[in-house]
C-alpha cells in the first residue's frame, strides 16, 4: 500500500472513518427494522443523510487536530514513526467510537433511546458494564472487541504506508488555514446560527427519524458537561403513588399501567373553538396593573382583557429561561435538573406535544416568534411539537412604523401584523402560538411615542417603555381580530415565558415597590368574551397546566403525561406550581414555598404544610426524571 501524497493518505483515513460509522448505523437500522418501519423510504434516506452530518461532527471534532499534525508543511511529518503514532491514535479514537456505538445499538433495545449520561450515573463501577456485556451480549462483545482491534490495525497499515511525493512547501500554510476553516464548519455542523444540535437531526417530525440519525456517542459527548443528579431520594413506586394522589381528578383516567402517569380525559362534548396563545417576553405579574395594582400604566390593553376575561392571580412560570417556558407549554413537562434541554436531547424521550394533539383533533397549527427562526431552536422545537407551519423574523415584512432596529429579529408589531395576516386565511379550527421579543434586554426603544419612563437599554425604565409598546401592538392585534368572523369562537391566552430581571433605575424615577410574589409569578389571561364569563381565578397553576386546560375544555381525549392539570378542573386533589432556577427547584401552593438544591431544602420554614410540600416536590422530581429515563413517561 502506497499513497501519492500525505493529503491522499489523510483523505483515505477520513473516508474509512465515515464508512465505519455508517456501517454501525446500518447495523443499528437492521437491528430494529420494525421500529423504523414507521418511516417512509424518503424519510429513511433523509434520516441517513442527517446521520452523515452527525458522523461528520463526531469525526471532525475528534480527529481534525490529527489532520493538521499530519499535514504540517515540515519534513519531519514524513517520519514513519511520527505518522504511525498519530495514525494509531486516530484508529483508537474511531475504534472507540465504533465500539461505543455498537454498545449503544444493543442498549437501544432495552429503552428505545440512545445512551446519554447513563454512564455517569454508573460512575466508576466498571463491573456493572462488564457484567452486562458478559450476561446479555457475550458473542457481540467478543465480536466488537475483535472489530476494535481490526480497526486499529487498518489505521496502522494506512499510516505505515509509504508516501511517494514528500514535499514541504511554504504555500502549504494556506492549506492548513483551509483545513481549520473546514474543521470549524464541520464541528459546528452549520455555516450560521446555533451549532448543529440534537433537534437538528430530525429529518422529519418522527422520533424514529431522530434516533436513526443520531448515535449514542454523539448524545453522550453532548451531555458530558452535565452534572450527575440524584433523582431518587424518594423511590419511584412511592413517588408515583404520591404524585397520583396529588394530581388525582375525577375527569381523567389512566391509560396504561406500563406508563403509570399517562392519562386521558374522559369523553365529553367536543368544542371546536380556535386557540391563540401569545407568550410575552419577560412579563412579570407585577407589571400588569389589573393583577398587581402597581399603577405602572404600561399594560392598558392587557388590563382591559384581564377585566373582561379570566384573570389567574396565582400563576407561575416553570423556569427563568425562555426555552423552559416553551418546553412546558409545548410538552407539559419541566426539564429535570441535569437533563438535556428541549432541542438538545430532551426530545429523545417520549413526550406528549401540544401541536400533535391539536392536529389529531383536526386543528390547523401555526407557530412564530419575533426573533430569528432559529432563536432558542424554536423552529426545530415547533416542528417536533407538531406545528404545521412556523415563521420567524426572516419571514415577516417590516412596517417601519417603529424607530430604528430591535436587538432581536423584528419589532413585535411586525410579528402581530404577520400573525393577523396568517390567521385571516387559516383554516378553522386553528391553534396558534406566538412569542414576542421586543421586551427582551437590551431594551431598545421603538420610538418616543411609547416612552413613558426615562429610556435606558439596561434598566427597568427601558423595559417599561418596550412593554408599553408591546402592549399597544397587542391592542392593535386584538382590534384586527375583532373584525374577523372567527373572533367570537376564539380563545385568546396571554402569558409570559418568565419574570423580568431588569435592574431598577434611580428611585426618583421609579418608586421601589415591594411585591410579595415569588420571582416566578407571571400573568395568565384567558380572553374569550363570547365564551367565558369574566372572573378572577385564584387557582394555583403554571405553564404545564396550559396544555391540559386546552385539552380539557375542548374535549380532546388524547393520551398525555404531565404533572399539570386543567385550570378549569374543580375536582383536582391538590393545586401547586413546580419551578426551576438553575440547579434549584421549588414547589409552591401559594401558601408556602419549599426550595431544594439537591442537597438540602433551603430558605424553608417548618410546618405541617411544608413537610407535605417537601415530599411532593421530591416525588415529582423522582417520578418525572425516572419515568423519562426509563422511557415509561409516554407510550
CB 493 within 8 Å of CB 526? yes
Pick from 3-7, 177-181, 358-362, 599-603: least confident:
599-603
Mean predicted confidence (pLDDT) in 559-581: 95
**What angle do helix axes 544-554 and 322-331 make, rounded to 10 degrees?**
30
CATH number for the domain whose boundaries are 273-570: 3.40.720.10
Nearest to 316 by CA among 491, 524, 514, 610: 524
Question: Residue 138: its pLDDT value, please?
Answer: 81
Above pLDDT 90, what percent of the chain?
Answer: 71
The position carrying cell 458473542 is 139
Q: Give tens-digit pLDDT for 25-71.
A: 999 999 999 999 999 999 999 999 999 999 999 999 999 999 999 99
Which residues make beta-bridge pairs with 596? 585, 601
Give the span between the Cα atoms of 115 and 218, in whole angstroms: 9
Residue 173 scores a pLDDT above 90:
no
More confident residue, 231 or 124: 231
More confident residue, 605 or 564: 564
In which band, very low, low, confident or very high, does the pLDDT at 501 lie, cut at 50, 70 and 90?
confident
Pick from 182-196, 257-271, 342-356: least confident:
182-196
Give the span between the Cα atoms of 444 and 312, in whole angstroms: 30
Handedness of CA 241, 244, 250, 254 (dihedral sign): negative
In which band, very low, low, confident or very high, does the pLDDT at 344 lie, cut at 50, 70 and 90?
confident
Q: Give tens-digit pLDDT for 270-317.
A: 999 999 999 999 999 999 999 999 999 999 999 999 999 999 999 999
Which residues make beta-bridge pairs with 588? 577, 593
Question: Residue 108: its pLDDT value, please?
Answer: 83
Mean predicted confidence (pLDDT) in 575-600: 89
In this structure, are strands 364-369 and 252-256 parallel, antiparallel, or unpaired? unpaired
Question: Residue 509: its pLDDT value, please?
Answer: 47
In which band, very low, low, confident or very high, does the pLDDT at 581 lie, cut at 50, 70 and 90?
confident
Query: Domains of the chain: which residue ranges?
Result: 2-222, 273-570
**Which residues does 396 contact at the CB level (< 8 Å), separation at least 6?**
368, 370, 409, 410, 414, 415, 417, 418
* pTM, 2 dp: 0.81
Whether omega before 68 lies within 30 degrees of 0, making that bond cis, reads no
Question: Residue 504: its pLDDT value, please?
Answer: 57
Residue 508 scores a pLDDT above 50:
no
Amino acid at each position: 500500500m502506497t499513497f501519492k501524497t500525505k493529503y491522499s493518505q489523510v483523505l483515505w483515513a477520513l473516508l474509512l472513518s465515515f464508512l465505519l460509522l455508517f456501517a454501525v448505523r446500518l447495523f443499528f437500522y437492521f437491528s430494529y427494522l420494525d421500529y423504523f418501519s414507521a418511516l417512509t423510504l424518503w424519510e429513511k434516506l433523509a434520516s441517513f443523510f442527517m446521520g452523515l452530518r452527525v458522523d461528520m461532527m463526531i469525526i471532525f471534532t475528534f480527529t481534525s487536530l490529527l489532520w493538521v499534525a499530519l499535514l504540517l508543511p515540515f519534513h519531519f511529518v514524513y517520519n514513519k514513526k511520527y505518522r504511525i503514532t498519530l495514525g494509531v491514535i486516530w484508529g483508537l479514537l474511531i475504534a472507540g467510537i465504533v465500539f461505543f456505538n455498537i454498545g449503544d445499538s444493543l442498549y437501544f433495545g432495552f429503552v428505545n433511546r440512545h445512551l446519554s449520561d447513563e454512564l455517569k450515573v454508573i460512575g466508576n463501577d466498571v463491573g456493572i458494564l462488564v457484567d452486562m456485556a458478559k450476561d446479555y451480549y457475550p458473542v457481540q462483545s467478543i465480536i466488537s472487541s475483535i472489530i476494535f482491534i481490526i480497526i486499529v490495525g487498518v489505521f496502522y497499515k494506512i499510516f505505515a504506508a509509504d508516501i511517494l511525493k514528500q514535499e514541504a512547501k511554504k504555500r502549504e500554510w494556506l492549506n492548513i488555514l483551509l483545513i481549520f476553516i473546514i474543521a470549524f464548519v464541520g464541528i459546528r455542523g452549520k455555516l450560521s446560527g446555533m451549532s448543529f444540535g440534537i433537534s437538528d437531526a430530525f429529518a422529519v417530525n418522527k422520533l424514529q427519524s431522530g434516533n436513526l440519525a443520531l448515535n449514542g456517542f454523539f448524545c453522550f459527548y453532548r451531555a458530558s458537561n452535565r452534572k450527575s443528579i440524584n433523582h431518587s431520594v424518594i423511590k419511584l413506586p412511592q413517588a408515583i403513588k404520591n404524585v397520583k394522589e396529588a394530581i388525582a381528578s375525577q375527569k381523567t383516567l389512566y391509560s396504561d399501567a406500563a406508563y403509570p402517569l399517562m392519562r386521558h380525559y374522559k369523553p365529553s362534548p367536543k368544542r371546536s373553538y380556535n386557540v391563540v396563545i401569545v407568550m410575552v417576553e419577560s412579563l412579570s405579574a407585577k407589571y400588569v396593573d389589573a393583577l398587581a395594582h402597581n399603577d405602572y400604566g404600561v399594560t392598558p390593553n392587557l388590563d382591559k382583557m384581564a377585566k373582561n376575561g379570566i384573570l389567574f392571580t396565582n400563576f407561575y412560570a416553570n423556569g427563568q429561561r425562555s426555552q423552559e417556558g416553551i418546553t412546558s407549554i409545548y410538552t407539559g413537562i419541566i426539564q429535570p435538573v441535569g437533563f438535556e434541554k428541549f432541542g438538545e436531547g430532551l426530545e429523545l424521550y417520549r413526550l406528549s406535544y401540544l401541536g400533535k394533539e391539536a392536529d389529531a383533533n383536526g386543528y390547523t397549527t401555526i407557530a412564530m416568534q419575533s426573533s430569528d427562526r432559529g432563536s432558542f431552536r424554536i423552529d426545530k422545537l415547533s416542528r417536533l411539537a407538531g406545528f404545521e407551519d412556523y415563521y420567524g423574523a426572516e419571514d415577516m415584512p417590516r412596517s417601519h412604523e417603529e424607530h430604528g432596529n430591535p436587538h432581536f429579529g423584528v419589532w413585535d408589531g411586525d410579528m402581530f401584523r404577520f400573525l393577523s395576516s396568517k390567521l385571516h386565511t387559516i383554516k378553522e379550527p386553528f391553534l396558534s402560538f406566538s412569542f414576542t421579543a421586543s421586551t427582551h434586554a437590551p431594551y431598545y426603544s421603538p420610538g418616543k411615542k411609547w416612552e413613558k419612563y426615562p429610556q435606558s437599554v439596561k434598566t427597568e425604565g427601558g423595559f417599561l417603555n418596550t412593554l408599553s409598546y408591546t402592549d399597544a401592538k397587542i391592542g392593535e392585534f386584538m382590534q384586527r381580530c375583532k373584525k374577523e368572523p372567527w373572533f367570537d369562537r376564539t380563545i385568546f391566552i396571554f402569558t409570559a415565558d418568565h419574570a423580568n430581571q431588569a435592574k431598577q433605575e434611580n428611585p426618583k424615577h421609579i418608586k421601589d415597590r415591594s411585591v410579595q410574589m415569588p420571582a416566578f409569578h407571571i400573568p395568565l389571561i384567558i380572553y374569550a368574551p363570547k365564551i367565558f364569563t369574566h372572573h378572577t381565578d385564584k387557582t394555583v397553576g403554571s405553564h404545564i397546566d396550559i396544555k391540559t386546560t386546552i385539552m380539557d375544555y375542548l374535549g380532546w381525549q388524547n393520551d398525555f403525561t404531565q404533572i399539570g392539570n386543567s385550570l378549569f378542573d374543580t375536582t383536582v386533589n391538590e393545586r401547586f406550581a413546580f419551578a426551576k432556577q438553575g440547579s434549584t427547584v421549588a414547589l409552591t401552593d401559594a401558601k408556602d414555598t419549599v426550595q431544594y438544591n439537591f442537597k438540602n431544602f433551603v430558605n424553608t420554614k417548618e410546618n405541617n404544610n411544608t413537610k407535605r410540600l417537601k415530599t411532593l416536590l421530591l416525588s415529582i422530581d423522582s417520578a418525572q426524571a425516572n419515568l423519562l429515563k426509563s422511557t415509561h413517561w409516554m407510550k
